[in-house]
């Protein structure tokens, strides 16, 4: 195992550094201090060939371009959307920036994705960072300190651990929203290929329908045929119903939160993404209650990658009185919260490839 540091480029007068964590097989991940983001994950396919499976840019300036700003980044203070860019907590009204129409998304323009994180330590298989966001940034109350660790091992397991620390004297003196995630875009096949051909499995019985702006309607519904990924199926199978399914019409495809569990304490499986063409498989687990699945509807070209983002339920702060929207993404002053996500990469057997291919043929015959 080894970690190497390189100068990636400049943003204004600031140097941007890249950290590559490489295991003994030659697989590696590349992390940038700008946005605490994952730039590359290079892992083997069924033939042992190494290639990158996430979207990234060739320069720091690339991440400033519209549509690229969230590639691989740490998202916060609040991942996903907050309706109308406002919320009330403890009888106080907080007005946030509106950076997506009338709504607030991903912590605003000055969210953690646009910050340069300070490297605080390097181990043989890990890199650690921290970032501090001040009271009032994008309208959020309180100072908040984030500690971030990426760890990558010989088993091709990437672990992201993110700690939000709240301390009355030195770090955070007010209750605030804390809902973090990583926003990597995955394509387990070749770059630019159709990621909708991937098989996806999400162990969730319920999901949250959304309106045309991506805000949850307030309902939590049982998964329908189109929204049901409890058994693996190609993403494309559901997208075939885009023109007749209101769920998919509103966002031109999948852009929905799935209910994984109703706590944020224990780790649980959240998704399995498989590409039969390359033989690669990605298994995601986290301690977050929800999983946002985005099928890359607005990428150019569309659906050349997908996002699977463990997080609290979107717009949950507006549903604090509803038991089914718990837990709430609130970090109380003086306390600490931890987000962890694990991304396990592997290669499936030829038998598994054949099984999934046969399953796909059956679903096509049934027109599901």
Looking at the annotation, which residues are catalytic?
A: 183, 309
DSSP for 263-274, written as a single string: -SSS-EEEEEEE
Tell me how far apart the alpha carbons of residues 144 and 138 are, in angstroms, rounded to a whole number: 13
For residue 2, what are the β-bridge partners? 22
Q: Based on C-alpha coordinates, what's the Rg of the chain? A: 20
In contact, 280 and 345? CB cutoff 8 Å? yes
Q: Tokens representing 91? A: 């009888």
Instruction: Compute how many other C-beta atoms are within 10 angstroms of the C-beta atom of residue 129.
Output: 23
Q: Tokens representing 98? A: 């509106």
Using alpha carbons, list the distances in angstroms from residue 303 to 26, 127, 164, 312, 356: 29, 31, 32, 24, 21
In contact, 73 and 56? CB cutoff 8 Å? no
Locate tokens 């301690």: which residue? Answer: 287
In contact, 71 and 57? CB cutoff 8 Å? yes
Using alpha carbons, list the distances in angstroms from residue 318 to 75, 80, 135, 241: 20, 13, 21, 31
């Amino acid at each position: 195992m080894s970690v190497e540091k390189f100068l990636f480029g400049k943003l204004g007068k600031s140097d941007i550094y890249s950290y590559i964590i490489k295991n003994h097989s030659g697989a590696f991940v590349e992390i940038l201090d700008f946005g605490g983001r994952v730039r590359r994950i290079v892992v083997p396919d069924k033939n042992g060939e190494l290639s990158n499976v996430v979207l990234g840019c060739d320069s720091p300036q690339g991440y400033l371009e519209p549509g690229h700003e969230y590639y691989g980044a740490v998202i916060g203070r609040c991942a996903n959307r907050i309706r109308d860019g406002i919320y009330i907590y403890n009888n106080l009204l907080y007005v946030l920036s509106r950076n997506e129409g009338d709504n607030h998304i991903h912590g605003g323009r000055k969210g953690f994705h646009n910050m340069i994180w300070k490297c605080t330590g390097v181990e043989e298989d890990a890199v650690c960072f921290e970032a501090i966001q001040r009271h009032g940034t994008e309208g959020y109350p309180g100072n908040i300190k984030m500690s971030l660790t990426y760890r990558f091992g010989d088993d091709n397991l990437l672990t992201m651990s993110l700690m939000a620390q709240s301390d009355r004297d030195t770090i955070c003196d007010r209750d605030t929203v804390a809902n973090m995630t990583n926003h990597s875009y995955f394509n387990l096949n070749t770059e630019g290929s159709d990621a909708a051909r991937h098989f996806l499995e999400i162990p969730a019985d319920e999901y949250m329908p959304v309106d045309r702006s991506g805000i949850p309607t307030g309902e939590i519904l049982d998964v329908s045929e189109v929204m049901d990924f409890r058994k693996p199926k190609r993403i494309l199978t559901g997208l075939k119903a885009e023109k007749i399914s209101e769920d998919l019409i509103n966002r031109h495809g999948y852009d929905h939160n799935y209910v994984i569990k109703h706590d944020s304490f224990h780790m649980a499986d959240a998704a399995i993404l498989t590409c039969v063409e390359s033989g690669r498989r990605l298994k995601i687990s986290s301690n977050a209650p929800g999983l946002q699945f985005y099928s890359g509807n607005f990428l150019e070209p569309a659906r050349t990658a997908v996002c699977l983002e463990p997080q609290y339920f979107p717009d949950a702060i507006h549903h604090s009185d509803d038991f089914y929207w718990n837990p709430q993404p609130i970090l109380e002053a003086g306390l600490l919260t931890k987000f962890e996500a694990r991304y396990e990469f592997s290669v499936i057997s030829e038998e598994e490839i054949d099984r999934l291919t046969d399953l796909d043929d059956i679903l096509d015959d049934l027109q599901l």
